[in-house]
A and B are shown apart, each in its own frame.
Chain A
Amino acid sequence: MDQNLRELYQEIILDHSRHPRHFGPLASANHVAEGHNPLCGDRVKVYLRVDDKNRITDVMFEGRGCAISVASASLMTEMLKGRDIAEAERLMGGFLNMVKGETADGLDADDREQLEVMAGVSAFPMRVKCATLAWHAMKAALDEKGTARTE
């Protein structure tokens, strides 16, 4: 198996896809949005609980998709909990840059290291949309848009 593939499907990604964190609905959510990729049929629903100080106090997701999209969503929920909205958006910006193979400026070292596991997807242009779906849904939830599409 080639190196790119090994990096894409590294153990931590497979682990997130098999055992997604924060998986399921969140009854107390006050921001919800769905992400849908009509080309492959992948769906994700992101639930956020944001308090009056703009802090994400809880986050959950549910849906179905490939290992990349599920792992990316799971990783995202791990990273978002406890952050404020501005930080969440900065994370998303850094993540989008990283999966496109660009440098992820404006992230602190810890965040960059955590997100780095998804960087392998940049070698697979046809799969970048899988990785970004949940993040777009999260952004749509914060922007009260309701749905996000990647295609």
Chain B
Amino acid sequence: MNAESTFATPGAYDVAALRRDFPILARKVHGRPLVYLDNAASAQKPKAVLDALTSFMVSEYANVHRGVHFLSGVATERYEAARRRIQKFLNAEHEDEIIYTKGGTEAINLVASSYLAPRIEPGDEIVLSVMEHHSNIVPWHFLRERQGAVLKWVEVSDEGELDPGDVARAITPRTKLVAISHMSNVLGTKTDLAEIVRIAHARGVPVLADGCQGAVHGIVDVRALDVDFYAITGHKLYGPTGIGALYGKRAHLKAMRPYQGGGEMIREVTRDYVTYADAPMRFEAGTPPIIETVGLAVALDYVESVGRERIAAHEVALARVATRRLKEMNGIRIIGEARGKGPIISFEAIGIHAHDLATILDREGVAVRGGHHCAQPLMERFNVAGTARASFALYNTMEDVDALIAAVGEARKVFG
């Protein structure tokens, strides 16, 4: 264990060395060292990713799948290699099961529009949990508004746990999809996705998982999970913004209508008719975010070079200490204490609005999110207007936890 590292747990790594890979962590905010604990909103980028974006543009860039010229071939190879990188990351069986999207939101909207919309009759049901992010709620509301779908909500316990049995009880002969988060962006709750899939499949219902947090804090094996659709986003995985992916089982993708129309997604276009390319191109109209896919592939390489299990163990160890120390303070309420939860802590300082708290923490250099976290039904469930949220990444340290606790103490002093 490195002597510099003040934090050691079984399987831990040299955090100080890893931090040097992230240039932004060296900057100051309001004259204080940056303590970045807003990772659930977006993670910072390692130098390897930044360099890859530049060097790709400097020496290998062109549009993909179009030209016969040299650079087009090179760029296409990098672009398709990134798809195989994501395939491997999720352990998908086939590379054509990975659809590039601009993020998790587009991945879910694609499923709503191309898979579910044609299958919805008025009164058909979509099962979702009360802890979904708006990106896994609003696309289903579209189907409610436009086609008469019925949303069936699965509750969570006071600890923030979701009982797969409640999913089973919500499924009826009219259920067309279960849409569920793999890890709550507010509570950190990790759902028992394999069990939920087993239950849903036993009733003939497919499952979409929102993996925007789940894929960041653990190993995801879509084949072992047997999940039908899995949405991820690149920028929370230390990659660029504007790139994400939808995993979809080949059989589903084959049966799905196109998403957007345009170049690259066709087989033939005439004056009278059009035929479409197969997946994944069928769902990737227009020039894709080529540079960002290359950056995401390098980000995934980086994550795996550190080790996903080690990262998860490190993050959870920090979050546990932070949770315990927050609870030792007066007037702090932790929202979400599910067993086996991920490194996301939502909390409320009694008598201090989340935005006031976030402003005071910010002046101490501590970046946290304050607000409803795009999860208003969950805020209503826990009867809070908003929470403060500290979320951990592979580069956070025990000093970051110290800074968080000290800054919350400052806020207590301001508000008495």
* Cα distance A5–B371 in the bound complex, in angstroms: 20
Output the least CB separation between B388 and chain A (Å).
12
B379 touches A41 (CB 8 A): yes
Chain B residues lying within 8 Å of A67, measured Cβ to Cβ, are 352-353, 356, 415
Those of B230-268 within 8 Å (CB) of chain A: none
Tally of contacts, chain A with chain B, CB under 8 A? 52
Contact with B along A1-37 (1 / 0, CB 8 A): 1101100110000100000000000000000000000
* Cα distance A127–B354 in the bound complex, in angstroms: 12
Chain B residues lying within 8 Å of A41, measured Cβ to Cβ, are 371-372, 376, 379, 385-386
* Cα distance A71–B353 in the bound complex, in angstroms: 12
Those of A73-103 within 8 Å (CB) of chain B: none
Chain A residues lying within 8 Å of B379, measured Cβ to Cβ, are 41
Given known A1-B414, A2-B30, A64-B385, contact A40–B355 (CB-CB < 8 A): yes
Output the least CB separation between B361 and chain A (Å).
11
- Bin the interface of chain B by size: 20 to 34
A5 touches B414 (CB 8 A): yes
Output the least CB separation between A60 and chain B (Å).
21
Those of B355-386 within 8 Å (CB) of chain A: 355-356, 359-360, 363, 370-372, 376, 379, 385-386
A109 at the interface (CB under 8 A from B): no
Output the least CB separation between B389 and chain A (Å).
13
Output the least CB separation between B64 and chain A (Å).
37
* Cα distance A67–B379 in the bound complex, in angstroms: 19
A39 touches B371 (CB 8 A): yes
Residue of A whose beta carbon sits closest to that of B370: A40
* Cα distance A137–B258 in the bound complex, in angstroms: 45
A9 touches B363 (CB 8 A): no
Residue of B whose beta carbon sits closest to that of A10: B414
Given known A1-B363, A5-B360, A41-B379, contact A127–B415 (CB-CB < 8 A): no
B414 touches A66 (CB 8 A): no
A138 at the interface (CB under 8 A from B): no
Chain A residues lying within 8 Å of B415, measured Cβ to Cβ, are 9, 14, 67
B371 touches A40 (CB 8 A): yes
What residues of chain B have their CB less than 8 Å away from a CB belonging to chain A?
30-31, 352-356, 359-360, 363, 370-372, 376, 379, 385-386, 410, 413-416
New contact pairs (9) apart from A8-B359, A67-B353, CB-CB < 8 Å: A1-B413, A2-B363, A5-B414, A9-B415, A40-B371, A40-B372, A67-B356, A68-B356, A124-B359
Sample of 19 A–B contacts (CB below 8 Å): A1-B360, A1-B363, A2-B30, A5-B360, A8-B359, A9-B360, A14-B415, A14-B416, A39-B371, A40-B370, A40-B371, A40-B372, A40-B386, A41-B371, A65-B385, A66-B353, A66-B354, A67-B415, A130-B355
